[in-house]
């Protein structure tokens, strides 16, 4: 069985730290060529800017080549082919499959029939493990450590797959969490039960001011319009939070604002010019993290 990255739990704590170290090496020297001759398939059944392009850039920087599609309209899925059959076929052509899909569990299904490593580039509201690794890279870079940090997650904690994987990963690093959301968008109980089991400190609040001045990382998220069954439900909560520069007057000097992006209205552009904004650098680190993930899963450790 090839090693996959479907959930962040597919990597141990040591493997996560190794990926971060590897990414640092790639950031210091990004012109690599040791995957020359390899082919990586990027199959995106759902829109993406950062994840797809940074994976494709990573493949190119490693000397490999990319095949794939940015949406499935021109694939044989439009004729009714199953995901399983598509993956079996692509396994014949590529040395690795990177896949984004709107359905929770689709990456698991892909891995169950693939003969090459599969990376989950986001499956519905479930997980986004490569995003988590780049989030950890940004956290470690800005805070100097991953342990004992106060992390405030704000916004759509129900549908946001990035926060789900990140909570899961941070559980190994003794965090204190503040979960800031409207009642309609609470962190799923599955993760709350995991935190209870591991006796990890957390609080759930409605007001963004409740955790702002004590956090080391303010992890803002977009309300995920595409996940709501009814647009009227989205309209009720879409403007729940808007971070502005004027709200940052009493935060810790070392605090950083992260966001998986894209943003809509939840971070005003006047935050971009403050010392706290780190979301664009965070996304930039994604390419090095993805170079590390690809290399590791293809056996170049
Ligand atoms: N963070 C993230 O997944 O962005 P994209 O949807 O643009 O890939």
Whether the CB of 50 sits within 6 Å of ligand 1? yes
pLDDT tens per residue, range 103-148: 999 999 999 999 999 999 999 999 999 999 999 999 999 999 999 9
> Ligand 1 centroid to 199 CA: how many Å?
31
Q: What percent of the chain has pLDDT over 90?
A: 97
Average pLDDT over residues 67-92: 95
Q: Is the pLDDT of residue 15 over 70?
A: yes
Q: What local confidence, expressed as pLDDT, does residue 1 receive?
A: 78
31 vs 254: which has the higher pLDDT? 254
- Number of residues in the chain: 301
Can you tell me which atom of ligand 1 is nearest the CA of 46? Answer: 6
* Nearest CA owner, ligand 1 atom 1: 260
Can you tell me which atom of ligand 1 is nearest the CA of 128? Answer: 3
- 301 pLDDT band, cuts 50/70/90, is low
pLDDT tens per residue, range 86-103: 999 999 999 999 999 999
* Nearest CA owner, ligand 1 atom 3: 51
Rounded to two decimals, the pTM is 0.97
Rounded-to-integer distance, Cα 216 and Cα 139, Å: 9
> Ligand 1 centroid to 130 CA: how many Å?
10
> Ligand 1 centroid to 166 CA: how many Å?
15
Q: What local confidence, expressed as pLDDT, does residue 125 receive?
A: 95
């Amino acid at each position: 069985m090839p090693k996959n990255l479907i959930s962040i739990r597919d990597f141990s704590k040591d493997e996560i730290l190794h990926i971060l170290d590897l990414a640092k090496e790639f950031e210091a020297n990004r012109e690599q060529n040791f995957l020359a001759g390899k082919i990586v398939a990027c199959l995106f059944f759902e829109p993406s800017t950062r994840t797809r392009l940074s994976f494709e850039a990573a493949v190119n920087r490693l000397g490999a080549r990319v095949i794939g599609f940015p949406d499935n309209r021109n694939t044989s899925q439009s004729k009714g082919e199953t995901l399983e059959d598509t993956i079996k076929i692509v396994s014949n052509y590529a040395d690795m499959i990177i896949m984004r899909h709107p359905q929770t569990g689709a990456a698991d299904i892909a891995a169950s029939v693939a003969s090459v490593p599969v990376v989950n580039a986001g499956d519905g509201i479930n997980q986004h493990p490569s995003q988590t690794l780049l989030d950890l890279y940004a956290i470690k870079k800005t805070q100097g450590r991953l342990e004992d940090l106060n992390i405030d997650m704000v916004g759509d904690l129900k549908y946001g797959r990035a926060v789900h994987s990140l909570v899961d990963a941070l559980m190994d690093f003794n965090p204190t969490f503040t979960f800031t959301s409207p009642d309609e968008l609470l962190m799923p109980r599955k993760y709350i039960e995991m935190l209870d089991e591991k006796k990890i400190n957390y609080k759930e609040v409605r007001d963004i001011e409740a955790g702002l001045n004590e956090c080391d990382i303010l992890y803002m998220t977009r309300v995920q319009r595409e996940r709501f069954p009814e647009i009227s439900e989205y309209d009720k909560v879409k403007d729940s939070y808007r971070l502005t520069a004027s709200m940052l007057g009493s935060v810790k000097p070392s605090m950083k604002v992260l966001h998986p992006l894209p943003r809509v209205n939840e971070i005003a552009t006047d935050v971009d010019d403050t010392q706290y904004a780190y979301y664009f650098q965070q996304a930039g680190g994604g390419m090095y993290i993805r170079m590390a993930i690809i290399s590791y899963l293809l056996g170049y450790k």
